[in-house]
């Protein structure tokens, strides 16, 4: 455990946490071998996205992706909505509407996840590096003060 492996593990884990598929941990493990990251930290940091945070996290990623790509939320420029009352009357129409909605949303969602994941992983990497350096600096100062106190 050193600052390079921990920060690389955090980077890999947070980057993979934004993959909207259930293969996040496996991709984080694979990526960890290439960047020489700490494997347990990488696996643990993929839990940034968990069943409690999926909906707000992926909604935010979708909004970022739609804003960057410039795709309107739907063809009329209105927020995406699914008419759930259609389930009772026309289930095939509901499935068609849901599939159409999915294909419109998948591009901005994946682009937003990639962008937000890369930015978040980079911020996590830099934060771990800075915090680790600050901890070492404080340890050195503390040891130096103890030595000076011991001499006097």
Query: Distance between CA 109 and CA 100 in Å, rounded?
Result: 14
User: Residue 72: its pLDDT value, please?
Assistant: 57
Q: What is the pLDDT of residues 32-80, one digit of tens each?
A: 999 999 999 999 999 988 888 888 898 889 888 888 887 655 556 665 5
The phi and psi torsions of 132 (rounded to 5 degrees) equal: -65, -45
Token code pair at residue 110:
């994946």
The answer to whether 12 and 43 have CB atoms below 8 angstroms apart is no
The answer to whether 46 and 24 have CB atoms below 8 angstroms apart is yes
**pTM to 2 decimals?**
0.75
Tell me the residue range of the domain where 34 lies: 3-151
pLDDT band at 22 (very low <50, low <70, confident <90, very high): confident
Number of domains observed in the structure of the chain: 1
């Amino acid at each position: 455990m050193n600052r390079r492996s921990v920060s690389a593990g955090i980077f890999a884990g947070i980057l993979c946490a934004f993959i909207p598929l259930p293969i996040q941990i496996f991709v984080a493990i694979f990526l960890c071998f290439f960047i020489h990251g700490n494997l347990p930290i990488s696996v643990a940091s993929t839990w940034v996205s968990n069943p409690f945070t999926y909906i707000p996290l992926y909604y935010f990623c979708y909004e970022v992706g739609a804003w960057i790509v410039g795709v309107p939320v739907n063809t009329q420029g209105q927020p995406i909505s699914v008419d759930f009352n259609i389930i009772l009357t026309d289930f095939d129409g509901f499935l068609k509407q849901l599939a159409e909605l999915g294909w419109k949303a998948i591009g901005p969602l994946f682009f937003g996840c990639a962008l937000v994941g890369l930015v978040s992983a980079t911020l996590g990497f830099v934060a771990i590096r800075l915090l680790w350096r600050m901890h070492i600096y404080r340890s050195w100062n503390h040891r130096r003060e103890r030595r000076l106190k011991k001499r006097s």
